[in-house]
Amino acid sequence: MPDQQPIRPATRPTAAHPAVTGRFAPTPSGRMHLGNAFSALMAWLSARAAGGRMVLRIEDLDPRAQNPEAAQLIMDDLAWLGLDWDEGPWYQSQRDETYAAAIDRLEAAGLTYPCFCTRAELHAATAPHASDGTYVYPGTCRGLTAQQIAERSRLRRPATRLRVPEADDPAGTIAFDDLALGHHEEVLARECGDFLVRRSDGVVAYQLAVVVDDALMGVTQVVRGADLLGSVARQTYLQRLLGYPTPTYGHVPLLVAPDGRRLSKREHDLDLGAIRAHEARPERLLGVLASCVGLAEKGESLSASQLATRFSWEALRVHAGNVVVDGDFLS
């Protein structure tokens, strides 16, 4: 399988495809939040400072995230911030056949199996929990016979899981150098175990969709929030199986309120709607976001393109851990 030709050849740098292609990959579950704006700014700066291009992909795979108005507001907020893109918007909800083709390839290579575990069974499993708070799948359905699969399929539609190598097999250890957080190494069997590529309701899993899209959209650099650091090993493993190149990863800090709470989309006080109602110019907000990583002085106002001339990963003051931001600049 790893030797198989990729679905489309890896994108090589040409005039139309410069060396760096970054991406915005928002989930349109609500208005863009200060934390999302920060991740988007970092992704844009990293690509633009290298003369690269940006792709916009709306991650609306989950039917609950299929919200065209929210997607429109996100695009409007990105444009307001001066964060432009060269390709897209692509909508994941319209790419099911592309994902199905990748899952078929994994299935044909015998790398997947149907999983009938219910949510309650998964929660009851005693396996240790992975770093991102999800469980390590204990392999319950790994060895089902054809007869067991046929019997269970009559009662329940299965999810599809990808087998990962045993903990002592070097193929299951993924090492990478994160642009912001440095060297990381993860053992898939300990981090997550066999993981989902399709849910039991038929919805394609995030990990699979992101890997297929990043490859087919020519993405060479993924800059996103540190909450997704734990996905790199799964995504890299899928890239290897599908014959795709692995992008460079950079995981930027999450912004938290002074009391340590993560700024979530539920707290409307710091979403872009509230901020824009209060502050007509984006430069002030960009200054606040840039000052979180030492790219601007506190109180400085400047545009996205001005910031791009200052940006380099070496210049950033990024530490593992969250960045505290308060809403004072609104007052």
Q: Would you tell me which residues interact with ligand GLU (CB under 6 A)?
A: 25-27, 59, 210, 224, 228
Q: Which long-range contacts (CB under 8 A, 24 or more apart) does 1-5 make?
A: 1/105, 1/106, 1/109, 1/111, 1/241, 2/240, 2/241, 2/243, 3/243, 4/105, 4/109, 4/242, 4/243, 5/243
Please identify, using beta-carbon distances, which residue of 74 and 257 lies nearer to ligand GLU.
Answer: 74
Residue 7 is encoded by which pair of tokens? 């679905």
CB of 33 to ligand GLU, least distance (A): 10
Please identify, using beta-carbon distances, which residue of 141 and 174 lies nearer to ligand GLU.
Answer: 174
Q: How far apart are CA 300 and CA 315, in angstroms?
A: 17
CB of 168 to ligand GLU, least distance (A): 29
Please identify, using beta-carbon distances, which residue of 158 and 218 lies nearer to ligand GLU.
Answer: 218
CB of 210 to ligand GLU, least distance (A): 5
Alpha-carbon 220 to chain mean position: 13
Element housing 323 (H / E):
strand 323-324
Residue of 39, 41, 24 whose CA lies nearest to 287: 41
Q: How many residues does the chain have?
A: 331
Is there a contact between 109 and 162 (Cβ–Cβ < 8 Å)? no
CB of 143 to ligand GLU, least distance (A): 32
CB of 136 to ligand GLU, least distance (A): 21
Please identify, using beta-carbon distances, which residue of 27 and 93 lies nearer to ligand GLU.
Answer: 27
Please identify, using beta-carbon distances, which residue of 32 and 115 lies nearer to ligand GLU.
Answer: 32
CB of 178 to ligand GLU, least distance (A): 14
CB of 26 to ligand GLU, least distance (A): 5
Please identify, using beta-carbon distances, which residue of 116 and 237 lies nearer to ligand GLU.
Answer: 237
Alpha-carbon 246 to chain mean position: 14
23: β partners: 55
Please identify, using beta-carbon distances, which residue of 25 and 141 lies nearer to ligand GLU.
Answer: 25
Q: Which long-range contacts (CB under 8 A, 24 or more apart) does 134-139 make?
A: 134/192, 136/189, 136/190, 136/191, 136/192, 136/193, 137/161, 137/192, 137/193, 137/194, 137/195, 138/193, 139/193, 139/194
